[in-house]
Each structure stands twice: as structure tokens, then as C-alpha cells.
């Protein structure tokens, strides 16, 4: 009662009414009020002493309440008992309703399952349990089981099965991250790998245990639905959604609407190839939407109405292509019907004769953007304004679940924080790289780095996941995100807590102050784990991280995106790195091809191969020569990519191949 | 030989329909039509339409057609009333074009006769096949049809509209 002040009247009278049903209500009210005198006197003095009494508010309350109470007491004696009880009940009910309504948005930062969502995920767990049992019993063949297990994220890899768990649009609660930690410890080797598509991979699970893993996960609204296979995959978005200053609209409600629409979609479970969707709601694209099969950019028209700029046919892999615009401004109501039309065109006309030519990008490229858009429009004409048309009520229902947390009103700059920045060089370096601006005054977004020499990029131990979950719970409203750069994000940290967060993150090995620098490189699991890979990525990543371990050197080099893929499937997005490294196989040996000039974001561009590939041992030297070229040519405040854009590829190529006879261009390898 | 079996109305039933296929190089008008109810490929339907309709009118032999994954629905869209059964072939489990074909037949072209799936399908495809509009299922060779009967109830609820459910969940959801 002393904390909330709710209770004296509301709870006390209700309890007394039940305890003494035969006592007249006015006697109950009277006794309760009398009992409140010594009680509130003590509590009030306590608050006075703590300095939490507002004198102006106190006086104005007394001016109203003293005459009110006198009148009330006078009339209470004359009103019939029944009416008084009824009146009391209705007032309590009103207060109750209001309390529930007001508290709801504060407790909901992310989509919470209702009974429908739970029943669907539970049913998938049961279905997969049956499928696994039939496979293990031999009644389901390898060929039959393959698409079924893939649609539930289960690969058969070098060391056994790999299970990819979904992190829908990269958003997790602290409880969910703890569940991941628990599952990794219980069923795997105590760590997991966060991927460029914001998911989590477990590399050492045992097939017979997978149904139980899924059952455990389902308790926290987690699953592995459609994290692989030729279906609509997990939808990804901006890891700063909801907090970025440059946001046009929050992409998360739309990602959730698409998640529901695509989950167990009966028509699209056997597409020609996988189908990846990314959505961005900010001016700067942090979700790499242009390299997705379907990339959605939230836009507002002149009337302020929300819509989507739709890109189709982007993707990396063997044929890297940027998506083409097929809708400039699709009104939000049509998001699902238009997407359904687009995926249907892909399902019917995408190539199925060659897995390498089956992505939608090949279809868009083959028939051209205009013809593809025409076919989608023709299909959409039948679906438009049909039942899939989104309603305001549904959008509001989902949007309400992503309501902003209960931010405190804070000053733009916390004085203690500024003092720490001045006095602690290591802290200020971390803030410079790992702390991003927030749209609410006094708050910041923190990147917990999953990159450090000696550890595979994106790997997190169960202990680290738990430490991150603790930090989220204590300092960031219990919510955490996975970025497609394979780090974890605390999106809503008060500035005054940054110093504490840094210390704790450091203790957990999550505070490499290198976000955006060369050590923050992106790499797929590569040949050490993945059966598709042509070469290993992790030893190359480690060698580069070691070469550039010196923090001063790294900070001097500045922002540099370096991406490594172990094969043409490009899970490490090497085409998008300012420096990209691709593992290739030459007569059973691992070689590495280097691309330059790739970039993500609004001005996304595919990097180009600079020449012959390098042996593994040559890679760190070659990278160092490229960086030396940049350092020699850069203007003040120019990033690697800016210098590259200004002076072109030639000086870099010359530096990469000091012996001229080696610099002839080769097509693929 | 035991009668062929088919799943209809959620139970196993005997099935008398025969699937006519063209062997390599065989011209559609050359094909010999066996007695009894037939499912013919689109090419045979186009080549022998008069003969097939005559069989139905004169002998009461019901008429059906089967579609390959890549067949163009526009070619038969005007003839749908002629068929007692339309069958969609799934030569490979992973070829999902037939799912779109079914929805188009049901939702776009208003076909309300029997729509059967046959080929490489089994228990794990039934739920989705049923959702997109199939109401008859010939389970692939070597797979258990009895087992497949259980699959209709795999999921208690679904998010999307499809042939079996005109409204998506968000239009039905009760808070």
C-alpha cells in the first residue's frame, strides 16, 4: 500500500466486505477510514522524510477531499445498504478495468502468443515428433524425411544434425534467451551460433532428442518452424526497430503479421527454392532488404498513409543480384494479398530443373522486372480486396503488442555518464563503437559483441546467453535482439546504466569495443561444420582477427565491413563486404577469392572479384596490403569504402598482387 | 488383384478410375481408351474431346482429366463442367505447383467436383493438400494409406485463408 497507495480503500474495503458479510457497508467503510488514520500518518511521514511528497499536490488534494468526505459521510447514513454496496462495487470495477487497461502496454514489448498461436506451435511439435519417430522406425525414407526435417530447421551436417531455431524478426525476451541457453547446455555442447538471418544454430544435437528440444522451446513461444527448406523462411528486420531515430514506422508489427500469414502456409511448403523476406521501417536500411527474395521498405505517401516499397528478386549465392522494385507504394491493407500473389507466381513459374537457378531472382531476371510485375499484378487482381486484406482492427491488435516500454523522463545527457566517458578511456572507446543513439532522450542502444579473436563470429556460450538475458532484464525492459551482423542488442538502456552494463558485459566476454571495425567481421560456420562448404571460414576469420587484434590499429582503420563465406551459398554475405572473402575448392584444396567494394544499406552494391584466389596462409597478408593501400590514400574521415569509391579498384588490385604476373583476372576461382 | 484404394470423406474407399498416360512419342489421338471411368491427360482431352463426351453421354462412363504440374489451367478452364473428377499429379514430393493449381481450381474457377491428388504424396502432405482444396487422395506407392487418415487433424487451427477456410484467422480471432 505504501508503494502504490492502492489498497487502503480499494483492497481493504473489499477484503472486509468478504470477512464480515453481515456488517453494514457504512460501518466497514467507517472502520476502514478510521484505521487508515494512524496507518497513513506513519506512511505519509515516511514519504515526507524520503522527499516523495509534493506539497502543491497535497494541498490541492486536501482542498477537494475534506469537504467531499464530510458530504459523503453525511449521505452514506441515508443511502440504503444495497445501493451503497452496488455503488462501491461499480467504482471498484471501474478502477480495476482502468488499471488493467493502463498496465497492458507496459508489459508488452513484443508479440505475446494467445491460445491460437500456442495451439499451432504445439501441434507442430507433435507432428514433428511423429515424423521423427517414423523416420527412426524406418517407415519414412531419407528422401521423404528430408523436406519435413528441413522445414523444421534440421540439417544433417558433418558432425551430425544441426538444428536452426527461429528468432522471429530477431526479437527475444530474456526468458526466451535463457531457454536457448538451457537447451544449448542440455542438448548440445553449451553454446550456439547466431546467424546472419538472426536465428540460432545448434551444431551438435542428437536426432532422437530433437522433438524434446522443440517441446522445451514451445514453452517459451519458441520453435524451428520454416528455418530451412524450400518455403517462406524466418522474416528478418532492423535490429534497431522501434528505437531508431530515423524510423518511418515500426516494422515489427508487419513482420509479425507476415510471420503468421507464412507460418504453415498450405500452398507454399514446396516452393522451387527457399524464400527469404526482410523488412525495414527506417530511412537507412539495416536489414539488407535488397538482397532478399522479397524486400519490403515502409514508406509514407503525401497523405501520411503507410505503405510498402516492394523489392523482388534480390539474393546472394551463385548469382548475386539486387532486388528490383515491383511496387513503389503498396498500401498496407494489401500486404498479405500482394505477397500471396507474388509467391504464387514464383511457385508456379520459378524454375525447378536446376537448384542453382530456382530462386525467384532468376525468374525476375529471366522475364524482366516489368513482365514479372505484370504477372504478379494479374494474379493480385483476383486476390486484392479479398479476405486476406488486412483490417485496421488486426493491425491495431498486433501493433499494440509492440508498444513502447515505460520510458522514464530523462535528461538528454547523464552527468555521471559524461564523467565516466571523460575518465575511462576503455569505456569511452566501447561507447564510441558499441553504443548507438536512441530516439528517447537519456536512452541508448547497446551492442553486445559476439566477436573476439579465438571465437567463431556469432558464437555465444550458454553462460553468455544467460549474462545477456540478465542484462536485458535489469537494464533493457527484458528484451533483446539479434542483429544480422551476428551480435546481440540491448535496445533500451538508460544512459546512466551504461557504465554498469559495460562492466558486466566485459565480465561475460560480450564487450569487444569493435562494432563496425575489422574484428566485427561476419562469417558463416564454414567447412568446420557445414556440409555445403567448399572451404573453412573460421580459421580465416581467426587469422584476420589476430592480425588486427591491436585496438588502436583497429580504431585507426575505422569502419570496415569484412565478410567471409565458405561457399557460393554466401551465408557470410561476402558480396556485401567492403572486403569479401569466398572459400573455393581447387582440386581438393581450400583457396580464398577476394571481392572489393560491396556495401549494404540503401546504396547496396555487390562487390567484385579482384583477381586470382589466395591460399589460406596468404590471406592475412593480402588483407593487410589492401588496408595499407587505404591508409596511404585516405582523406580525413574517409572510410575504407569511401576511399575505394574515390580511387577505384586498381590501386588495391596492384597492392594485393605485388608480383604482376599473378594478377591476371580469373573468372571463378 | 485387390481393388485400388483412395481416401475420400476421411476413409478408405475402393476406386475404379484409371489414369491414361501417353508413352513416349505416342500421339494423343492414337491413344486407346480402356473401358470404365478414365482420367486423361490434357493433350488427350484436347485431341479426343468429342469421343470422350460421347462415351459419357451414350454409355454413362464418367469423365475425368489429370493435370501435370506445368499444365496451363487456361486450356481447360472453359471445360470444367465436363469433368466428374479432376486429378492433379505430384510426380515428385518436392514439386509444389499442384498446391497452387488446386487453389486456383477451387477459389478462382469455382470447380466443385472431386479434386484428387495422386503421385508422390503421403501422410505428411495430407493436411496441406486438404487445405488447398483436394478432397480425394491416392497415397503413393509404398506408403501407408491407413496412417494418412490421421493427418487431417494435425493442426487444430490455421492462420491463412485457403480453399477449406474462406477467412484468415485474424478475421475469426476471438480475444
- The DSSP 8-state label assigned to residue A530 in this structure reads -
Going by pLDDT thresholds of 50, 70 and 90, the confidence category of residue B1 is very low
Same CATH topology for A243-400 and A519-662: the answer is yes
**Spatial contact of A527 and A534, defined as CB atoms under 8 Å apart:** yes
Contacts of B159 in chain A (CB under 8 A): 120, 260-261, 263-265
Task: Give CA–CA dist A252/A111, Å, rounded.
Answer: 9
User: Does residue B66 belong to the interface with chain A, where contact is any CB pair within 8 Å?
Assistant: no
- State residue A452's pLDDT score: 87
Better-scored residue on pLDDT, B120 or B175:
B120
Task: Give CA–CA dist B106/B109, Å, rounded.
Answer: 6
DSSP H or E stretch at residue A70: helix A55-76
Interface contact A230-B93, CB threshold 8 A: no
- State residue A103's pLDDT score: 38
Using CB atoms, which residue from B159, B162, B171 is nearest to A263?
B159
Better-scored residue on pLDDT, A22 or A269:
A269
To the nearest 10°, report the CA torsion of A250, A169, A296, B167.
-90
**Spatial contact of A501 and A444, defined as CB atoms under 8 Å apart:** no
Task: Please report the ipTM that was assigned to this predicted complex.
Answer: 0.97
Please report, rounded to a whole number, the percentage of residues in chain B having pLDDT higher than 70.
Answer: 98
**Spatial contact of B90 and B120, defined as CB atoms under 8 Å apart:** yes
Residue from A331, A333, A322, A319 nearest A369 by CA: A322
- State residue A665's pLDDT score: 45
List strand residue ranges (DSSP E) for A361-426, in order. Answer: none
Nearest C-alpha of chain B: how many angstroms from A183? 25
- The DSSP 8-state label assigned to residue B70 in this structure reads T
| Mean pLDDT computed over A101-115 | 65
Contacts of A230 in chain B (CB under 8 A): 94, 96
Going by pLDDT thresholds of 50, 70 and 90, the confidence category of residue A78 is low
User: Does residue B109 belong to the interface with chain A, where contact is any CB pair within 8 Å?
Assistant: no
- State residue A7's pLDDT score: 46
Going by pLDDT thresholds of 50, 70 and 90, the confidence category of residue A1 is very low
Residue with cell 547523464: A414
Interface contact A266-B127, CB threshold 8 A: yes
| Mean pLDDT computed over A596-617 | 94
The neighbouring-strand residues paired with B39 are B19, B64
Task: Give CA–CA dist A190/A183, Å, rounded.
Answer: 8
- In this structure, of A87-101, A131-145, A291-305, the range with the lowest mean pLDDT score is A87-101
Is residue B120 scored above 80 in pLDDT? yes
**Spatial contact of A119 and B156, defined as CB atoms under 8 Å apart:** yes
Instruction: Kindly list the residues of chain A whose beta carbon comes within 8 Å of any beta carbon in chain B.
Output: 114, 116, 119-120, 123-124, 126-127, 131, 139-140, 143-144, 147-148, 230, 260-261, 263-271, 336, 344, 347-348, 352, 382, 386-388, 390-391, 394, 397
- State residue A551's pLDDT score: 93
- State residue A393's pLDDT score: 96
**Residue ranges per domain, chain A?**
10-107, 115-218, 243-400, 415-512, 519-662
Residue from A224, A218, A226, A233 nearest A278 by CA: A233
Is residue A334 scored above 90 in pLDDT? yes
Using CB atoms, which residue from A119, A140, A267 is nearest to B162?
A267
Contacts of A352 in chain B (CB under 8 A): 95, 97
Residue A74 cell numbers, joined: 453525511
Interface contact B132-A266, CB threshold 8 A: yes
Better-scored residue on pLDDT, A12 or A343:
A343
- State residue B121's pLDDT score: 96
Nearest C-alpha of chain B: how many angstroms from A452? 41
Largest CA distance in chain B: 62
- In this structure, of A329-338, A474-483, A521-530, B1-10, the range with the lowest mean pLDDT score is B1-10
Going by pLDDT thresholds of 50, 70 and 90, the confidence category of residue A658 is confident
Nearest C-alpha of chain A: how many angstroms from B51? 31
Is residue A107 scored above 50 in pLDDT? no
- In this structure, of A6-20, A526-540, A567-581, the range with the lowest mean pLDDT score is A6-20
Residue A613's Cβ-side half-sphere holds a number of Cα atoms within 13 Å equal to: 18
- The DSSP 8-state label assigned to residue A495 in this structure reads G
Rg, C-alpha atoms of chain A:
29
Output the average pLDDT for chain A.
Answer: 89
Residue of chain B whose Cα is closest to the Cα of A341: B100
Residue B66 cell numbers, joined: 489429370
Going by pLDDT thresholds of 50, 70 and 90, the confidence category of residue A463 is very high
Q: A115-218: what fold?
A: Sulfite Reductase Hemoprotein; domain 2 (3.90.480)
Taking the mean position of all CA atoms in its chain, how far away is CA A222? 14
Residue A629 cell numbers, joined: 593501400
User: Does residue B68 belong to the interface with chain A, where contact is any CB pair within 8 Å?
Assistant: no
- State residue B174's pLDDT score: 81
Residue A538 burial (C-beta neighbours within 10 Å; 0-12, 13-18, 19+): buried
Task: Give CA–CA dist A598/A177, Å, rounded.
Answer: 33
- State residue A111's pLDDT score: 94
pLDDT tens digits for B34-70?
A: 899 999 999 999 999 999 999 999 888 999 999 999 9
Best-predicted range by mean pLDDT (A32-36, B26-30, B66-70): B66-70
The neighbouring-strand residues paired with A307 are A299, A331
- The DSSP 8-state label assigned to residue A605 in this structure reads B
Residue from A601, A545, A605 nearest A575 by CA: A605
Is residue A100 scored above 50 in pLDDT? no
Nearest C-alpha of chain B: how many angstroms from A132? 12
Q: A415-512: what fold?
A: Sulfite Reductase Hemoprotein; domain 2 (3.90.480)
What's the CATH class of domain A243-400?
A: alpha beta
A-to-B residue pairs, Cβ atoms closer than 8 angstroms: 102
**Spatial contact of A398 and A253, defined as CB atoms under 8 Å apart:** yes
Interface contact B99-A123, CB threshold 8 A: no
Residue A311's Cβ-side half-sphere holds a number of Cα atoms within 13 Å equal to: 26
Task: Give CA–CA dist B89/B85, Å, rounded.
Answer: 13
Interface contact B160-A143, CB threshold 8 A: no
- State residue A667's pLDDT score: 39
Q: Tell me the pairing of strands A589-596 and A608-609.
A: antiparallel
- State residue A606's pLDDT score: 95
What's the CATH class of domain A519-662?
A: alpha beta
Going by pLDDT thresholds of 50, 70 and 90, the confidence category of residue A104 is very low
Task: Give CA–CA dist A577/A482, Å, rounded.
Answer: 19
Going by pLDDT thresholds of 50, 70 and 90, the confidence category of residue A8 is very low
Interface contact B157-A119, CB threshold 8 A: yes
| Mean pLDDT computed over A598-612 | 93
Contacts of A268 in chain B (CB under 8 A): 96, 99
pLDDT tens digits for B89-115?
A: 999 999 999 999 999 999 999 999 999
Residue A288 cell numbers, joined: 539488407
The neighbouring-strand residues paired with A160 are A157
Q: Which domains does chain B have, with CATH numbers?
A: 4-171 (3.20.20)
Output the average pLDDT for chain B.
Answer: 94
Residue of chain B whose Cα is closest to the Cα of A265: B160
Give me the DSSP letters along A247-307: BSS-SHHHHHHHHHHHTT-TTSSS-SS-B-EEEE-BSS--S-GGGSSEEEEEEE-TT--EE
| 3 state SS of A592 | strand
- State residue A102's pLDDT score: 39
Please report, rounded to a whole number, the percentage of residues in chain B having pLDDT higher than 90.
Answer: 84
Amino acid at each position: 500500500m505504501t508503494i502504490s497507495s492502492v489498497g487502503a480503500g480499494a483492497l481493504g474495503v473489499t477484503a472486509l466486505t468478504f470477512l464480515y458479510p453481515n456488517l453494514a457497508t457504512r460501518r466497514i467503510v467507517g472502520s476502514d477510514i478510521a484505521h487508515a488514520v494512524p496507518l497513513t500518518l506513519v506512511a505519509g511521514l515516511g514519504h515526507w522524510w524520503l522527499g516523495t511528497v509534493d506539497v502543491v499536490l497535497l494541498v490541492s488534494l486536501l482542498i477537494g477531499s475534506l469537504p467531499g468526505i464530510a458530504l459523503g459521510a453525511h449521505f452514506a447514513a441515508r443511502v440504503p445498504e444495497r445501493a451503497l454496496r452496488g455503488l462501491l462495487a461499480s467504482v471498484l470495477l471501474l478502477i480495476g478495468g482502468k488499471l488493467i487497461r493502463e498496465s497492458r502496454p507496459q508489459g508488452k514489448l513484443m508479440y505475446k502468443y494467445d491460445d491460437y498461436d500456442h495451439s499451432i506451435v504445439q501441434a507442430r511439435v507433435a507432428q514433428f515428433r511423429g515424423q521423427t519417430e517414423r523416420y527412426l522406425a524406418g517407415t519414412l525414407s531419407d528422401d521423404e524425411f528430408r523436406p519435413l526435417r528441413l522445414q523444421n530447421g534440421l540439417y544433417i551436417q558433418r558432425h551430425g544434425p544441426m538444428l536452426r531455431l527461429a528468432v522471429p524478426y530477431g526479437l527475444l525476451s530474456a526468458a526466451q534467451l535463457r531457454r536457448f541457453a538451457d537447451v544449448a547446455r542440455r542438448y548440445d555442447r553449451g553454446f550456439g551460433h547466431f546467424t546472419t538471418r538472426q536465428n540460432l544454430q545448434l551444431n551438435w544435437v542428437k536426432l532422437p532428442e530433437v522433438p524434446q528440444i522443440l517441446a522445451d522451446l514451445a514453452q517459451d513461444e519458441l520453435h524451428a518452424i520454416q528455418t530451412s527448406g524450400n518455403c517462406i523462411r524466418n522474416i528478418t528486420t532492423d535490429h534497431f526497430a522501434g528505437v531508431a531515430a530515423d524510423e518511418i514506422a515500426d516494422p515489427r508489427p508487419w513482420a509479425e503479421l507476415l510471420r503468421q500469414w507464412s507460418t504453415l502456409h498450405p500452398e507454399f511448403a514446396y516452393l522451387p527454392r527457399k524464400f527469404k523476406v526482410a523488412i525495414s521501417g527506417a530511412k537507412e536500411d539495416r536489414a539488407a532488404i535488397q538482397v532478399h527474395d522479397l524486400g519490403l521498405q515502409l514508406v509514407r505517401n503525401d497523405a501520411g498513409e503507410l505503405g510498402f516499397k516492394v523489392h523482388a528478386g534480390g539474393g546472394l549465392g551463385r548469382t548475386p543480384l539486387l532486388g528490383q522494385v515491383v511496387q513503389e507504394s503498396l498500401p498496407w491493407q494489401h500486404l498479405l494479398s500482394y505477397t500471396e500473389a507474388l509467391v504464387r507466381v514464383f511457385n508456379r513459374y520459378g524454375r525447378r530443373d536446376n537448384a542453382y537457378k530456382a530462386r525467384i531472382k532468376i525468374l525476375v531476371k529471366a522475364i524482366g522486372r516489368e513482365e514479372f510485375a505484370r504477372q504478379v499484378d494479374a494474379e493480385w487482381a483476383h486476390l486484392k480486396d479479398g479476405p486476406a486484406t488486412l483490417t485496421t482492427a488486426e493491425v491495431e491488435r498486433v501493433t499494440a503488442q509492440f508498444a513502447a516500454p515505460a520510458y522514464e523522463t530523462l535528461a538528454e545527457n547523464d552527468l555521471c555518464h559524461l564523467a565516466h566517458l571523460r575518465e575511462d578511456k576503455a569505456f569511452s572507446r566501447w561507447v564510441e563503437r558499441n553504443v548507438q543513439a536512441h530516439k528517447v532522450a537519456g536512452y541508448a542502444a547497446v551492442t553486445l559483441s559476439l566477436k573476439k579473436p579465438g571465437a567463431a563470429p556469432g558464437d555465444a556460450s550458454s553462460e553468455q546467453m544467460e549474462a545477456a538475458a540478465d542484462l536485458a532484464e535489469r537494464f533493457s525492459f527484458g528484451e533483446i535482439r539479434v542483429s544480422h551482423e551476428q551480435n546481440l542488442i540491448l535496445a533500451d538502456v538508460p544512459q546512466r546504466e551504461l557504465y554498469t552494463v559495460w562492466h558486466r558485459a566485459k565480465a561475460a566476454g560480450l564487450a569487444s569495443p569493435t562494432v563496425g571495425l575489422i574484428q566485427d567481421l561476419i562469417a558463416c560456420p564454414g567447412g568446420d561444420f557445414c556440409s555445403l562448404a567448399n572451404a573453412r571460414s573460421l580459421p580465416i576469420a581467426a587469422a584476420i582477427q589476430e592480425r588486427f587484434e591491436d585496438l588502436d590499429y583497429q580504431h585507426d582503420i575505422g569502419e570496415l565491413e569484412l565478410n567471409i563465406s565458405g561457399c557460393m551459398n554466401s551465408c557470410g554475405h561476402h558480396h556485401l563486404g567492403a572486403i569479401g572473402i569466398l572459400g573455393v575448392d581447387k582440386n581438393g584444396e581450400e583457396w580464398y577469392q577476394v571481392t572489393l567494394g560491396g556495401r549494404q544499406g540503401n546504396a547496396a552494391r555487390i562487390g567484385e572479384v579482384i583477381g586470382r584466389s589466395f591460399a589460406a596462409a596468404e590471406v592475412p597478408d593480402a588483407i593487410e596490403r589492401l588496408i595499407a593501400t587505404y591508409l596511404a590514400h585516405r582523406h580525413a574521415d574517409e572510410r575504407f569504402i569511401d576511399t575505394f569509391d574515390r580511387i577505384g579498384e586498381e590501386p588495391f588490385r596492384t597492392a594485393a598482387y605485388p608480383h604482376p604476373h599473378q594478377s591476371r583476372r580469373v573468372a571463378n576461382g | 488383384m485387390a481393388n485400388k484404394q483412395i481416401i475420400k470423406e476421411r476413409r478408405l474407399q475402393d476406386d475404379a478410375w484409371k489414369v491414361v498416360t501417353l508413352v513416349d512419342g505416342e500421339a494423343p489421338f492414337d491413344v486407346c481408351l480402356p473401358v470404365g471411368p478414365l482420367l486423361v491427360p490434357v493433350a488427350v482431352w484436347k485431341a479426343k474431346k468429342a469421343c470422350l463426351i460421347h462415351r459419357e453421354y451414350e454409355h454413362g462412363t464418367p469423365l475425368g482429366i489429370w493435370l501435370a504440374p506445368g499444365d496451363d489451367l487456361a486450356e481447360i478452364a472453359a471445360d470444367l463442367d465436363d469433368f466428374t473428377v479432376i486429378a492433379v499429379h505430384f510426380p515428385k514430393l518436392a514439386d509444389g505447383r499442384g498446391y497452387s493449381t488446386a487453389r486456383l481450381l477451387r477459389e478462382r474457377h469455382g470447380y466443385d467436383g472431386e479434386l484428387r491428388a495422386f503421385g508422390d504424396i503421403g501422410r505428411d502432405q495430407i493436411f496441406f493438400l486438404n487445405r488447398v482444396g483436394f478432397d480425394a487422395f491416392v497415397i503413393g506407392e509404398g506408403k501407408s494409406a491407413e496412417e494418412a487418415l490421421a493427418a487431417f487433424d494435425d493442426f487444430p487451427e490455421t492462420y491463412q485463408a485457403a480453399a477449406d477456410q474462406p477467412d484468415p484467422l485474424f478475421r475469426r480471432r476471438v480475444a
